[in-house]
Amino acid sequence: MRKSIGARFLIVGLLTLLMFIPLFFVSDIVQSRKNYSQNTLREVGREWGGEQVIAGPMLVIPVEETVERIEREAVINPETGEVVLDTDGTPRQRQVTRKVTVNRDPIYVYPGRFDVAIDTRTQIRHRGIFSVPVYQAAIEMGFDFPWDQIASQAVNDEVILWDQAELILSLSSNAALRGQAVLSVDGTEVPLEPIASADEAAGIMAALGDPRGKSEYKLTLGANGAQLLQIAPVGRQSVVTLSSDWPHPSFRGAFLPDGSEISDAGFSATWTIPHLARTLPQMTREDYTRALRYGMAFGVDFIEPNDFYQKSYRAANYSILFIALTFLTVLLVEKGTERPAHPVQYILIGLAQSIFVLLMVAYSEQIGFGPAYALSAGATVALLTFFGAVGLKLGRRTAVLGVMLLVLYGVLYLILRSADYALLAGASLAFVALAATMYFTRNEDWYGPEGTGFWGRKRKAVAAVTSQEPGPKP
């Protein structure tokens, strides 16, 4: 068995499959650390202001109608003032028609022109060993409302309460607002108030009064936030410009920008959304705020691209390939030695490469991915090369193992640095390794030299039995 290269290949293959067990636990630890990191990011972000989604502004105009309502009331004796009873003793009732004023669904009016300019400045906040990017946004809006078309929304005998019109701007959280929020209508400043609501609604409002004849609205406000900033295209023609000093934007939502410029100094992006691109009527008797927030908003994520937890998780997934290639290298390099590597020694090699991923995560949390990878990979390569020299007794062949490990961990670094080409690099490496193995083992006697291996002895036994069988009778 020790001299049969084929049997040893099978044993090494089984040992490689066995390495899925420690790699599974390593992947679970990496995922656990990532979840802990994300919880920290959300907690710090929430304290700073959280994710911000802006939906609005919109004009809300109350509507009422006077209707006739038939009611039943008890009959009162005008002389005694007592309730008149029927013969069975029950109070006598009569039908009365009264005119009452009831509230109808208000009219929601969205802007005709909606121009927004948002400028953000980012900071890095720290919580323990974690760094959290947060931002401060300066928001400027210019818009108008088609007030001359509002009257057509009233039906039957409905009366529009023009003097009670309100401007509503929906926000994710009022606690994120910073600085002074200013609303001006045709150059006149209008006071703003927070939305008073018993549910989760958040935002600001202004009592506008009669909006007819008013044409120029401007709103400026500042807000803190973290991770996400989005805005809904409420205008019939919405033009949104977003700029920031954050160099790693991830655009997301219902619409991607028409154009963007990204550099190490930051980014800028512009969206132009016509009314035909959104499923939102200009005027309606329904509140579309929820649909705007969760179905039509767009913006940017402030994220760290390809963070070290993602790289470490991918490294754990690729580790089985690198363990297999290391096992294969040891198997081919030790060929012809007096004492082949024992399965326990292969397990030790696999465990060392599994722990490499844990080292990379632990060091990355402290010193960053690049230095952590160099330190972890260097320690692992040094350990395995030392083990090859003193444990496996490879002699001069130890250099082959060391060079192979350096190549493997160099390729792994390139794979982890580029998420887009990771699969291409990994698949190509696996194919090249398999092709090299097929080439270097092209002259191998897989049954063992002179039938000394298990399969060789089996083959000799079968041949012996076959040679003893009597031939056909003449």
pLDDT in tens, 114-142: 999 999 999 888 776 677 888 999 999 99
260 SS3 class: strand
Which pLDDT score is estimated for 455? 46
pLDDT at 305 over 90: no
Does residue 3 register a pLDDT over 60? no
What is the model's pLDDT at position 468?
Answer: 56
Is the peptide bond preceding residue 146 cis, with omega within 30 degrees of 0? no
Name the packing angle between helices 308-333 and 20-48 (round to 10°). 160
Check: CB of residue 280 under 8 Å from CB of residue 292.
yes
Q: Is the pLDDT of residue 61 over 80?
A: yes
Please tell me the predicted confidence (pLDDT) of residue 136.
92
Highest mean pLDDT among 101-115, 318-332, 427-441: 101-115
pLDDT at 8: 73
Dist CA 344 CA 350 (whole Å): 10
Of the listed ranges 150-164, 300-314, 437-451, the least confidently predicted one is 437-451
The pLDDT tens digits for 139-190 are 999 999 998 888 888 888 889 999 999 999 999 888 889 888 999 999 899 9
The whole-number pLDDT of residue 379 equals 92
- For residues 335, 340, 343, 347, the Cα torsion angle rounded to the nearest 10 degrees is -70
Better-predicted residue by pLDDT, 430 or 186: 186
Q: Which of 160-174, 202-216, 335-349, 393-407 has the lowest mean pLDDT?
A: 335-349
The residue with greater pLDDT, 469 or 357, is 357
- Among the residue ranges 137-141, 273-277, 436-440, the one predicted with the least confidence is 436-440
pLDDT band, very low/low/confident/very high, at 202 (cuts 50, 70, 90): confident
Q: C-alpha dihedral over 121, 127, 129, 134, to 10 degrees?
A: -20
Instruction: Compute the radius of gyration of the chain from its Cα atoms.
Output: 38
Q: Which long-range contacts (CB under 8 A, 24 or more apart) does 428-434 make?
A: 429/321, 429/325, 430/321, 433/325, 433/328
Residue 348, pLDDT > 70, answer yes
Q: Which tokens belong to 1?
A: 């068995």
Q: Angle at Cα 122 formed by Cα 258 and Cα 246, nearest 5°?
A: 40
Q: pLDDT grade, residue 1 (50/70/90)?
A: very low
Write the pLDDT tens digit of every residue in 456-466: 555 555 555 55
Burial label, 284 (beta-carbon count in 10 A; 0-12, 13-18, 19+): middle
Assess if CATH 1.10.20 describes domain 51-63+105-302.
no
* Residue that is written with structure tokens 């290949």 in the block: 9
Question: pLDDT band at 338, cuts 50/70/90?
Answer: low
Q: What pLDDT is stored for residue 4 in this prediction?
A: 63
State the pLDDT at residue 341: 80
Report the C-alpha gap between 324 and 15 in whole angstroms.
9
β-strands 217-226, 130-143 pairing: antiparallel
Residues of the chain with CATH 2.60.40: 51-63+105-302
239-261 burial, b at 16+ Cβ within 10 Å, e below that, comes to bbbbbbebebbebebbbebeeee
Q: How confident is the model at residue 474 (pLDDT cuts 50, 70, 90)?
A: very low
Q: What is the mean pLDDT of the chain?
A: 83
Q: pLDDT-derived band of residue 101, with 50, 70 and 90 as boundaries? A: confident
Statement: residue 6 has pLDDT above 90:
no
Q: CA angle at residue 194 from 188 to 235, to 5 degrees?
A: 65
User: To the nearest whole percent, how much of the chain has pLDDT over 70?
Assistant: 88
Residue 390 corresponds to which amino acid? V
Backbone angles phi, psi at 355, to 5 degrees: -65, -25
Q: What's the confidence (pLDDT) of residue 419?
A: 66
Task: Identify the weakest region by mean pLDDT among 116-125, 328-337, 357-366, 393-402.
Answer: 328-337
